[in-house]
Structure 1
Amino acid sequence: MEDPILHFDILVLILGWIPPKVALPLARVCSAFNNVIRSSAYAIQAMQNLCEPGNPFMNKPELIPTDFDLLFINGPPSVADAYVRHRMQHYTHFWFNAFLLSSVKAKRRGPFPVALCSLTNLSILELSCCSRIGTVPFEIGQLINLERLDLSKNSELTGPLPDSIAALAALKVLKISDTSINGPLPNGFSRLSNLEKIYAFNTSITGPLPSFENLVNLVMLHMANSKLTGTIPASLACCSDLERIILSKNLLVGEIPSSLGRLQQLTHLNLENNSLQGVVPDELDNLPLLELKLGGNPELILKEPSLAPVELTNPVMP
């Protein structure tokens, strides 16, 4: 009697050398092919053949993104988990990071691949423009060495950022713009003391801005066109390297803190289209501003036009 397991193993070896974008349609040919191609064993064999040095596809880098997409980013969870286990044993995180950064542009809709959160050596994770749906998983807090997280331009990525993101102590760049991420910023967000750039514009983030007392390395704060409420924190003055503050098109109220006048690196300040009130502080005169936008705040009062020629559209003159 023939051993069906032997047939399966042989098919794994044979199909594992066929580029996945060619092999996956073969799943419709017969049940034996389908069982192999949807299996973790095939994922490991195919990814090993595709990505190990010396394989024939390394000379055809244009094949890799599509195949990686098909096998991992949009594959069944068992396939992703199996590949992660295999990759953690045999691949270096540098290659994997560089590959993600430059090549992973998944074309089909699918949830955030939770298996990625097992790669605790990962320092760069870029999943922008790749039709992610659902929410950012709590497991993302396991990526304790992550320095750059880019989830931008995934319009169907929704829900709040999980509180576990506060565990990403090494994080320097956070990009979640052009998503449907909503709710308030997570508890502990202000503990991300290595953050340098926050790109969170065109989102549905609500609630107040965090305290900035510990975010002393911040250079860029771009959270325009969201649903932020409350006041502009005076603690922004703790970020002495801040170059750009862009908080336009939110629901911010109260006065512009005079402490912003201490930000001697600040070149762009855009607070237009909020509900700010009071007198524009004189301390802003001391800043090396190239752009100042305060329009669309009907109750904001400009004491004197000393800030020209920067753009001050529609302030109230006393």
Structure 2
Amino acid sequence: MGTLAFSFIALLLSVAAVTVRAQTDPRDVSAMQDIKNSLVLPHSLDWSSGDPCSPWTHVHCSGGRVDAIQLGGTNVSGTVSPSIRNLTALRRFEVMNCGLSGPLPSFSGLSNLQAALLHHNSFTSIPSDFFQGLTGLQTIDLSYNSFAAWSIPDSLRTATSLQNFTAVAANIVGSIPDIFDSVIFPSLVELHLSFNNFIGGLPASFADSSIQSLWLNGKAGHSLLNGTIDVLAGMTGLVEVWLHYNQFTGLIPDLSRLENLQDLSLRDNQLTGVVPASLMVLPSLRAVNLTNNLLQGPTPAFASAVRVDMAGINSFCLPTPGVSCAPEVNTLLSIAQAVGYPLKFAQDWKGNSPCDSGNPWSGITCLAGNITVINFENMGLAGTISANYSSITSLQRLILANNNLTGPIPTGLATLPNLKTLDVSNNNLSGLLPSFGKSVVLNINGNPLVGTIVPTPGSSGTPGASPADGGTSASSTKKASAAVIFGSLAGGVAVVSLVGLVVFCLIRKRPESSNKVQSPNTVLVVHPHHSADQEGVKITIAGSSENGGTSENFSQGSGTTGDVHVVEAGNMVISIQVMRNVTNNFSEQNVLGKGGFGTVYKGELHDSTKIAVKRMESGVMSDKGLNEFMAEIAVLTKVRHRHLVALLGYCLDGNERLLVYEYMPQGTLSPSFQLEGTRPEAPRLDEKIKHRPGRWQGC
């Protein structure tokens, strides 16, 4: 009886087992048969039954579905069948350290897949839709395969559960996609992409990521990642950073927020600048490698518990850690900081003395151990002009021309006692021009925004607004960037006619050469000019011209003997901002006189030169009046005569109509004109001028 009962129970168990096997999903059975046929299995693996859930060796099933294939290290070879994407319940696929080859099939749609360990094989390609729909993927390792060049596809962003993405030496090319923020990948902690062929810089999304371990180190001689490493400052979760063997430039950012950072490897890049003090006091730091960069300033001193490698090339001023550089070195480094610590400076500025004759510093000239000339012309500098130039009191010449400098000219430069030349031409400077002494030769050509206030990001105000627009004080608005010699006015149709007659007669008698001013964005710069027989001012009219010229010059002295100079002035436009600056925003205190069509204002430039500006009343000028306004400009800008005040510029801006004349401080000509400062030697000529009521009389 007992034997019969035992046999019956065994039969029931056998039937139950057959029933379980019969419940294996037929799609999984078919897919596993295809996978079996594509592989070359070692004898140690038993996949002989017809049902993979019988189970086959290293195959795991749950609920009649295949959910794990774990063949890592089993010497399996062959290829992986595309049928793997039919195993929709698959959670783990592990084939690392095998002999697999051929194309890697698409895993698209395997939403339950959590881990795919494919490293150390010989897969030859990866499809672009490989990651599509892998919403449950947490770990993937594609390292050390034989992939043809491929880029990280956009489909990776669908793997939103990703925690560890590793693809070391996987022949990835192109840029690192800007997708690794905590919104797309909230759980990503390891990004290991060393030994690939990336180009470009670190993506901005890194700053908003949860990455703790970042491997982007390159191969010696094949490193293409470049740009700055500023984004590291925002990666507060970092524990380990490997960026060695790349081409990163710029400085090491402030890493004080990286309180958990333990391992920092930046060796073999082109980093410049001073090592931030905050790095040396990070509480968790255990290893730092800065070898073979171009770091400057004092050699950093780390705690004794930190493993430090700085044995290779750098540009520290002194070899002893923690010893400060000489004051003049610190000054020059602060100047370099304002332009991003250029590579050229870091390569050439070595040692602890910029005046060491045996080790010349690029752009620096010394005399008797003092810096006398700084010439950074045409160096591609971008940034601002450091205020610390003003601490080099021995400086005689400062040349910063032909760069990409922005911001204002520091006011401290005007206090340098020995400065003779300042050339900042052809940059993108803005702001008010400091008051330099008459002994300083100043060149600001090619900076059309000098004289305007350009707010920095986050500040209030309209970009390009003048001090008058922005409501700054009256004293500051008197300091303008453009300087011209102007005078009082002669207007009206009679003047136009008479001038035309004078020009016709005198040019026939004595033709003169002409200078052309072609810039539609004119900046007028005063240069004091002295000669044996005259004392005057050299006027540089600078700006872009249609034919590529940058400036044209003309000189006018008080003792000139020429009667007429015909000047093909073209478009002598002066900005409304400059006009507001020099007239203290058309202050009532600056009014010289008023007439039927406008008011004349006295202006004052940065060097105390006085000018006169005729401002037409807004709204009173008809089309006919505008035509006459332009006719006066067209004629008077062509004429220079010792008996006529010169029209040197004009402004048309909305309803604003302004004429700019020479200003002669010798007194008025006649009661009918009420001009302050016309030429006193010309009464007979100008007294013949008749005026009709309502014309531009009584300037």
Question: Is this a same-fold pair by TM over 0.5?
Answer: yes
Residues 198-219 of structure 1, C-alpha deviations (whole Å, 9 max, x = no match): 1111142111113334422211
Letter in 1 for 2:172: L
Paired position in structure 1 for 2:139: 124
Residues 150-207 of structure 1, C-alpha deviations (whole Å, 9 max, x = no match): 11112x3210011123332321111111111121112312111x21111111142111
CA contact (8 A) 1:66 1:106 kept: no
Residues 274-315 of structure 1, C-alpha deviations (whole Å, 9 max, x = no match): 11111124xx34462122325301x212463579xxxxxxxx
Residues 111-145 of structure 1, C-alpha deviations (whole Å, 9 max, x = no match): 35532242111110110011232211122122221
Seen in structure 2, the aligned counterparts of structure 1 residues 145 and 295 have a Cα distance that, compared at 3 Å, is: same
Residues 22-46 of structure 1, C-alpha deviations (whole Å, 9 max, x = no match): 69xxxxxxxxxxxxxxxxxxxxxxx
Seen in structure 2, the aligned counterparts of structure 1 residues 244 and 16 have a Cα distance that, compared at 3 Å, is: closer
CA contact (8 A) 2:150 2:172 kept: yes
Q: Distance in 2 between matches of 1:175 and 1:199?
A: 5
Paired position in structure 1 for 2:248: 228
CA contact (8 A) 1:146 1:170 kept: yes
Consecutive unaligned residues in structure 1, runs of 5 or more: 1-8, 24-48, 308-315
Paired position in structure 1 for 2:54: 54
Paired position in structure 2 for 1:246: 265
Paired position in structure 1 for 2:185: 168
Letter in 1 for 2:196: T
Superposed displacement of residue 109, structure 1: 1.9
Superposed displacement of residue 106, structure 1: 3.6
SS at match of 2:150: strand
Paired position in structure 2 for 1:21: 39
Q: Distance in 2 between matches of 1:63 and 1:280?
A: 52
| Counterpart mapping for 1:132-281 below 5 A | 132=147, 133-154=149-170, 156-166=171-181, 167-192=184-209, 194-202=210-218, 203-234=223-254, 236-281=255-300
Superposed displacement of residue 228, structure 1: 0.9
Q: Distance in 1 between matches of 2:31 and 2:242?
A: 50
Q: Which moved more, 1:103-112 or 1:115-124?
A: 103-112
Paired position in structure 2 for 1:28: none
Superposed displacement of residue 70, structure 1: 5.1
Letter in 2 for 1:56: W
Seen in structure 2, the aligned counterparts of structure 1 residues 65 and 174 have a Cα distance that, compared at 3 Å, is: farther
Letter in 1 for 2:56: P
CA contact (8 A) 1:272 1:294 kept: yes
Q: Distance in 1 between matches of 2:296 and 2:240?
A: 24
Q: Distance in 2 between matches of 1:301 and 1:295?
A: 14
Letter in 2 for 1:80: S
SS at match of 2:230: coil
CA contact (8 A) 1:139 1:164 kept: no
Q: Distance in 1 between matches of 2:159 and 2:295?
A: 38
Letter in 2 for 1:263: L
Letter in 1 for 2:166: D
Seen in structure 2, the aligned counterparts of structure 1 residues 137 and 54 have a Cα distance that, compared at 3 Å, is: same
Q: Distance in 2 between matches of 1:14 and 1:261?
A: 56
Q: Distance in 1 between matches of 2:169 and 2:175?
A: 16
SS at match of 2:225: strand
Q: Distance in 1 between matches of 2:144 and 2:188?
A: 21
Paired position in structure 2 for 1:300: 316
Q: Specify the structure having the higher radius of gyration (Cα).
A: 2
Q: Distance in 2 between matches of 1:17 and 1:68?
A: 8
Letter in 2 for 1:187: A
CA contact (8 A) 2:102 2:122 kept: no
Q: Distance in 2 between matches of 1:179 and 1:80?
A: 22
Seen in structure 2, the aligned counterparts of structure 1 residues 276 and 186 have a Cα distance that, compared at 3 Å, is: same
Consecutive unaligned residues in structure 2, runs of 5 or more: 1-26, 42-49, 60-69, 85-99, 324-349, 353-699
Residues 26-70 of structure 1, C-alpha deviations (whole Å, 9 max, x = no match): xxxxxxxxxxxxxxxxxxxxxxx89x6435353693679646645
CA contact (8 A) 2:263 2:285 kept: yes
Letter in 2 for 1:111: I
| Counterpart mapping for 1:4-153 below 5 A | 16=34, 18-21=36-39, 53-56=53-56, 58=58, 61=71, 66=77, 69=80, 71=82, 80=106, 84-85=108-109, 87-88=110-111, 92-94=112-114, 97=115, 100-101=116-117, 103-111=118-126, 114-132=129-147, 133-153=149-169
Letter in 2 for 1:21: L
Seen in structure 2, the aligned counterparts of structure 1 residues 69 and 127 have a Cα distance that, compared at 3 Å, is: farther
Letter in 2 for 1:257: P
TM-score normalized with structure 2 length? 0.33
SS at match of 2:180: helix
Letter in 1 for 2:106: A
Q: Distance in 2 between matches of 1:176 and 1:196?
A: 14
Seen in structure 2, the aligned counterparts of structure 1 residues 68 and 195 have a Cα distance that, compared at 3 Å, is: farther
CA contact (8 A) 1:212 1:238 kept: no
Superposed displacement of residue 259, structure 1: 1.2
TM-score normalized with structure 1 length? 0.69
Q: Distance in 2 between matches of 1:125 and 1:70?
A: 19
Q: Distance in 2 between matches of 1:120 and 1:162?
A: 19
Q: Distance in 2 between matches of 1:140 and 1:14?
A: 26
Q: Distance in 2 between matches of 1:240 and 1:19?
A: 53
Residues 68-118 of structure 1, C-alpha deviations (whole Å, 9 max, x = no match): 6454697779x625xx43x43xxx434xx0xx23x5544132135532242
Q: Distance in 1 between matches of 2:202 and 2:273?
A: 20
Paired position in structure 1 for 2:416: none
Structure with more contact order per residue of length (Cα contacts < 8 Å, sep ≥ 6):
1
Aligned length: 257
Q: Distance in 2 between matches of 1:53 and 1:64?
A: 22
SS at match of 1:19: helix
CA contact (8 A) 1:263 1:287 kept: no
CA contact (8 A) 1:136 1:157 kept: yes
Q: Whose helix fraction is larger, Structure 1's or Structure 2's?
A: 1
CA contact (8 A) 1:266 1:287 kept: no
Q: Distance in 1 between matches of 2:285 and 2:138?
A: 29
